[in-house]
Amino acid sequence: MSMTKSFIPKTINHDLQKERLASTFDVEEFAAWWQGGEQKLKTKREIERALFADLDDGYGINHEYMSHEDLYNSAVKKVAEATPKLKALQQKMNPGGKDIWPGGLLSVHAHGLFPENHPLATHISMFVDVVKGQGTPEQVEKWGKLAENCNIIGTYAQTELAHGTNVRGIETRADYDIRAGEFVLNTPNLEAYKWWPGGMGHTANHAMVVAQLYISGKHKGIQMFIVPLRDADTHMPLPGVDVGEVGKKLGMAAVNLGFLGLKNVRIPRTNMLMKYAKVDRDGTFTASPASRVNYLTMVYTRCLIVNLNSTLLLQAATIATRYSAVRRQSPIEPNEPEPQIIDHVTQRLKLFPEIATGMAYHLAAEHMWELYNQTVLDANNGKFDRLPDMHILSCALKVLCTTDGCAGIERLRLSTGGHGYHIAANLSNIYGNAVAAYTYEGENTVLLLQIGRALVKAWASYKQAETPSSSYAYFETSMRLKEFPKWDNSWQCIVRALQYTAAHKTRIAFENLSQRIAAGQSQAVAANNTGIELTRAAELHGRQFVCQTFVEQITGPKAQQRSAALNSALENVVELFLVQTVLNNLSDILRFINLTDADLRSLQQRLELSLEKFRPNAVAICDGFDFHDRVLNSVLGSYDGNVYPRLFDAAKRSTMNQRPVQKSFETYLKPLMKASL
């Protein structure tokens, strides 16, 4: 990088400071609430001071000018350099815990430590937790501690070149050799190669391989196997292992996503995770007590995805909101000075709903973690009745959060105009990281179809007078009504309206599916032909859950722990989210609910009023998320608001600016310019 002397002011931009002074609530109170308490906020900030204090000025952008290979090696170096810091902090602040080491490799701090991402994320987020969650005590003892300390590095290898969301269709085989007491793993063709596992390329030396188990030629379903990939000393691929990187992607530059082929790779019998399903030495197979217990891994991962993508959306919203408070353009009154662009109502509509959306999904994820932890406790005690509902809810949240989050990040990038196109704005990187989740851990349309099938199944049970589970309880309360009550503008009315609409969309999907089957179509063909109705019902099922959860999280018992001023600001966020959700889904709502012109005008007025009430608190709310400047890594979103000096500073750091004339001038450009006509 060019050795540019920074000329960024040490002061805070006047307009941004003015916004902070106009806030109606205490930002520190918001930040403590958002982080889960004052002590957690204090700990977070202490960790950030320790991790970020010695990073140089160009730390967040240098990688943008590296080659693909250099960028990967730089990321590995950063992980190695961060490790002793994280371990020391863990020992100092929470001895024996895992939240800082290795948890810090996956936390929000990692966004600042590893701006190009890093190749150990899948190891921490999946490999370690799958071993601990689905391994026997002996397997956890053997592999868990080594993995947690990164003495071995793993990845999670499920997706194949030709099979992704349809897990049942994967072709990788694990055949049990009874005589040797070993599994023999093979990818029988190119299509069966594992594809996309994070860190697989050149980092992981083990993989959690998801494969079809066969014993004496009989299929025993999908199981998980710990497979060594590389020599512990030389890191060279082991015999029968064909492993490498898939190449450059839209985002996640240093994640080192890889491919894996296996040819007659033998592993001990005890390398199959056997907390639930088991294979004895003599080949006796004991099936898992619940056929869907493996969904626990996917539920866990989808909760992580909602946490991550809501955070990325809020990072983008913070950047765009701070920039909108600094940028001045386009006078509202012709002869007046240029206003802050945040004063334009249309700009507010681009910004504030995304803040509300990010908060709604964040709180929904927190609620889901509570449900997940209870489900794990139940599973450990042999109770698996929660699993189906947890699977469907996690699918719905994953779909909606990634769909809304990715669209929102792009809207926020567009809201920053041309400057948002600059790589130093970091909005393109945030988008690249977020949009991958639209596909991984279940492509969104496929997940919606899964939810839709679960809905019509639940509807069939409801029609047979069976009591629905809590996730579908709104079927009964909605269908008890001959028609929806008069619109009263309350939040409860909005939630009930979404539930009523979701119930009727499910009813229609069920009726049309049934008609197609009655007309002679097979169940599968009928389901395919009902796909549009199924996916729409599924989306509305998810949206009513998010809205109901958001209201409960803000107005429930926890509200008593917050000040009236903060609650007032948060309630306006809920108001904006609910009204915007209704307006975005009017085509379905109006099909079943008779809203008058006055009702519709009222909703528009409520939208505009909530945007107006949001205006003085927008910057303060974003401050309350407490994203460190290193985490945002954006010239547009820095806390000090010095947008233009930071943009110019980033430009001066370009490697192209190390010399005034590029070598191509003499070789190509000059001859071109001097050529005769």
Residue span of the structural domain in which 199 resides = 153-289
365 plus 298 within the same structural domain: yes
298 plus 439 within the same structural domain: yes
> Residue range 19-40: average pLDDT?
97
In the predicted structure, residue 3 carries a pLDDT above the cut 60? no
Per-residue pLDDT tens over the stretch 288-322: 876 566 677 778 889 999 999 999 999 999 999 99
Q: Is residue 612 part of a domain?
A: yes
Asked if residues 205 and 230 have their Cβ atoms less than 8 Å apart, the reply is: yes
Per-residue pLDDT tens over the stretch 331-361: 999 999 999 999 999 999 999 999 999 999 9
Q: Sign of the CA dihedral 479, 480, 486, 489?
A: negative
- Burial status of residue 214 (CB atoms within 10 A of its CB: 0-12, 13-18, 19 or more): middle
188: cis peptide before it, omega within 30°? no
Please give the single-letter amino acid code of residue 350: K
> Which residues make beta-bridge pairs with 259?
195, 244
Q: Is residue 241 part of a domain?
A: yes
**507 vs 6, more confident:** 507
* Helix intervals (H) in 556-669: 564-584, 586-592, 597-614, 618-624, 629-632, 643-652, 664
Q: Which of 253, 272, 289 is the last residue of a domain?
A: 289
- With a CB cutoff of 8 Å and minimum separation 6, the contacts of 588 are 501, 505, 536, 540
445 plus 553 within the same structural domain: yes
d(CA 668, CA 664) in angstroms, rounded, equals 5
**Whole-number pLDDT of residue 57:** 86
**Whole-number pLDDT of residue 291:** 59
424 plus 384 within the same structural domain: yes
- Looking at the chain, the whole-number percentage of residues with pLDDT higher than 70 is 99
Q: Which of 48, 64, 441, 575 is catalytic?
A: 441
Per-residue pLDDT tens over the stretch 379-412: 888 888 888 899 999 999 999 999 999 999 999 9
SS3 (DSSP) at 211:
strand
d(CA 588, CA 591) in angstroms, rounded, equals 5
> Residue range 148-157: average pLDDT?
95
In the predicted structure, residue 324 carries a pLDDT above the cut 50? yes
In the predicted structure, residue 1 carries a pLDDT above the cut 60? no
Per-residue pLDDT tens over the stretch 498-514: 999 999 999 999 999 99
Q: Which of 592, 622, 652 is the last residue of a domain?
A: 622
Q: Is residue 58 part of a domain?
A: no
Q: Is residue 334 part of a domain?
A: yes
**Whole-number pLDDT of residue 665:** 96
Q: Is residue 55 part of a domain?
A: no
Lowest-confidence range among 72-76, 160-164, 446-450, 582-586? 160-164
483 plus 606 within the same structural domain: yes
**Whole-number pLDDT of residue 677:** 74
**Whole-number pLDDT of residue 2:** 44
The CATH number of the domain where 275 resides is what? 2.40.110.10
CA angle 475, 309, 640 (to 5 degrees): 130
Gyration radius of the chain's alpha carbons: 27
Active site residue 441: yes
Q: Is residue 33 part of a domain?
A: no
221 plus 299 within the same structural domain: no
C-alpha pair distances (Å), 233 with each of 152, 230, 638: 11, 9, 43
Asked if residues 151 and 120 have their Cβ atoms less than 8 Å apart, the reply is: no
571 plus 614 within the same structural domain: yes
SS3 (DSSP) at 183:
strand
Strand ranges (E), 181-286: 182-186, 194-195, 206-215, 218-228, 241-245, 258-262, 265-268, 278-279, 285-286
Other CB atoms closer than 10 Å to residue 629's CB: what's the count? 15
Q: Is residue 285 part of a domain?
A: yes
Instruction: Tell me how far the alpha carbon of residue 651 is from its chain's centroid.
Output: 31
Domain count, the chain: 2
On the CB side of 552, how many CA atoms lie within 13 Å of its CA?
11
Q: Is residue 376 part of a domain?
A: yes
**Whole-number pLDDT of residue 4:** 55
> Residue range 260-267: average pLDDT?
98
> Residue range 526-546: average pLDDT?
98
The CATH number of the domain where 518 resides is what? 1.20.140.10
C-alpha pair distances (Å), 66 with each of 4, 69, 116, 253, 526: 18, 8, 11, 11, 52
667 is known to lie in a ligand binding site? no
Per-residue pLDDT tens over the stretch 122-134: 999 889 989 998 9
d(CA 445, CA 449) in angstroms, rounded, equals 6
d(CA 252, CA 259) in angstroms, rounded, equals 16
236 plus 306 within the same structural domain: no
Please give the single-letter amino acid code of residue 67: S
d(CA 308, CA 237) in angstroms, rounded, equals 32
Asked if residues 197 and 257 have their Cβ atoms less than 8 Å apart, the reply is: yes
**Whole-number pLDDT of residue 167:** 84
507 plus 426 within the same structural domain: yes
Asked if residues 242 and 257 have their Cβ atoms less than 8 Å apart, the reply is: no
- Angle at which helices 531-555 and 564-584 pack, to 10 degrees? 170
**97 vs 2, more confident:** 97
> Residue range 416-445: average pLDDT?
95
417 is known to lie in a ligand binding site? no
Instruction: Tell me how far the alpha carbon of residue 62 is from its chain's centroid.
Output: 26
Q: Which of 622, 639, 661 is the last residue of a domain?
A: 622
Asked if residues 113 and 149 have their Cβ atoms less than 8 Å apart, the reply is: no
285 plus 314 within the same structural domain: no
Other CB atoms closer than 10 Å to residue 188's CB: what's the count? 12
361 plus 224 within the same structural domain: no
Per-residue pLDDT tens over the stretch 108-118: 999 999 999 99
**Whole-number pLDDT of residue 293:** 66
426 plus 555 within the same structural domain: yes
